[in-house]
Amino acid sequence: MSSTDAAGPTLEAAAPRVTMTEAITIKLRTPAKLRNLELLLLLVAIGITGAAVALVQLGAIGELDLTIIGYGAGLGMLALGMHVVLRITAPDADPFILPIIVTLNGLGVAMIYRLDLAEGYVGWEMAGVRQMVWTAIAMVIALAVLLIVRNHRVLARYRYVAMLVGIALLLLPMLPGIGQTINGARLWIQVGPFSFQPGEIGKIALAVFFAGYLMTARESLSMVGRTFLGMRLPRGRDLGPILVVWVAAMAVLVFQRDLGTSLLYFGLFLVMIYVATGRLSWVLLGLTLFLGGALIAAQTLGYVNNRFAAWLGAFEQQNYDAIGGSYQLVQGMFGLADGGLIGTGLGQGRPDIVPLAESDFIVASLGEELGLVGLFAILGLYLLFVARGFRIGFNGTDDFGRLLAVGLAFVVALQVFIVIGGVTRVIPLTGLTTPFLAAGGSALVANWIIAALLLRLSDTVRHQPRLVVTDDE
């Protein structure tokens, strides 16, 4: 395995690194090729977003509304500000991550704003304007994360705190008083005028916990155990964590009525434990547990059963007419079909026919107006984002950092698969948000934090001397 990236000069890489301050001064003196590439791509991303918003306005209202474009320019400045912070605090960070998420975030804002125009909303009624504000908040929080977390290993120290926080966030919506049921799923908390989906932040806390826990436990988890049918089964006392996570996932499924989130957390855990231990038996065990639970849930819980029926027989009139049936899914597919290969053009389609077109079904909205070509580009951006995350996993030197990077990247990949797979009938439809694109503040904040952590990890990976290439194959 070798790194072919245009990393810093080898001289600098081999230089002894004593303190953080010293490292920074060294970076500032070297030509920041990566950051220049990032700046270039970022300008392209901001350009794409600006063009998208302008096209939406021309398509939907036939004129340019400079106020909104002004807000957009503000966000562009914020993104550039983030770039400057990266230049100073993480000069070797991956140059693709920021431009990718700015593009996705921008396309999302443009589409949400376009749907507002279709509904005739103005001012604060506009989900697009709120999404812009949330984007600004998310960016500021991401900046804070970059500035505070100068070394990701610090996070490993707080792994059990992360566990408690993660589980607390996960279960928070079940508390009476602040918990809130929206569209049948109990995933939100409401405090005063603010509603928040704590589970989105929870997934980061859990990824930190899994990475920290597996870093210490991977030896014992992977070495010890009885062999049965050619597979080494885990010891009884090592089963604890997987059972805890399974129970939490089932609790989400049963009490919060959310199949997608449940699948997301459990999938994240399985992948991380597999990467840490290299043992397929964990995955098989976990999948059996989850599928068994989900199967029982499908038999006993009406909503899970409905989701399956609406998935398999989406076009049957009976499912189409049913409450919580396939109406939304089928209308989304009509929208996608109408978009076809090249789309109707921004502001030219009718994505507003589909319920929740700005959140759960934003992919259908984008597919309708940007076409298959546009969706391929969006999927390509996600794939690139995930690949950059995995790359950190390949190149990293410490187990915690590698596991965390893989976990964070995979959780984004899995979420994309669950949402877009649900909208395009690969799997049953569940209520997750499309990362960076969909309307929703909590999800935006969470995903920007993920991006900030990946940026931090990628910087650490690059500017550390790689004297010994370890490959445990």
Residue 120's contacts (CB-CB under 8 Å, 6 or more residues apart) are none
Considering only residues 90, 386, 437, 453, which one is a binding residue for another protein as defined by CB under 8 A?
386
d(CA 199, CA 193): 19
The nearest distance, CB 417 to another protein, in angstroms, is 4
Nearer Cβ to another protein (65/316): 316
Nearer to another protein, 155 or 381 (CB): 381
Here the tokens at position 287 are 């999948």
Candidates 76, 293, 339, 440: give the one binding another protein (CB under 8 A): 339
Q: What is the CA angle 446-449-451, rounded to 5?
A: 115
Which amino acid does the sequence have at 351? Answer: P
401: which 2 tokens? 């950092």
428 part of the interface to another protein, by CB under 8 A? no
From 82, 86, 155, 375, residue interacting with another protein (rule: CB under 8 A) = 375
| Smallest distance, another protein to C-beta of residue 217, A | 14
Site map for another protein, 265-304, x if CB under 8 A?
A: ------x--xxx-x--------------------------
Q: What span, in angstroms and rounded, lies between the C-alpha atoms of 136 and 140?
A: 6
Nearer to another protein, 134 or 282 (CB): 282
Give the DSSP H or E segment for 234.
none
> In angstroms, rounded to a whole number, what is the distance separating the alpha carbons of residues 205 and 171?
13
Which of 68, 75, 310, 420: binder of another protein (CB under 8 A)? Answer: 420
Return the number of the residue (224 or 387) whose C-beta is nearest another protein. 387
Alpha-helix runs per DSSP H in 126-239 = 127-148, 153-157, 159-171, 198-223
Please report whether residue 325 would count as binding another protein according to CB under 8 A: no
Least separation in angstroms between residue 400's CB and another protein is 12
Q: What are the tokens at 174?
A: 């079940």
444 belongs to the binding site for another protein (CB under 8 A): no
What single letter denotes the amino acid at residue 215? M
Residue 236 DSSP one-character state? G
Cross-strand partners of 182: 185
What are the residues binding another protein (CB under 8 A)?
1, 271, 274-276, 278, 315, 320, 330, 333-342, 345, 350, 353, 367, 371-372, 375-376, 379, 382-383, 386-387, 390, 393-394, 399, 402, 406, 410, 413-414, 416-417, 420-421, 424-426, 471-473
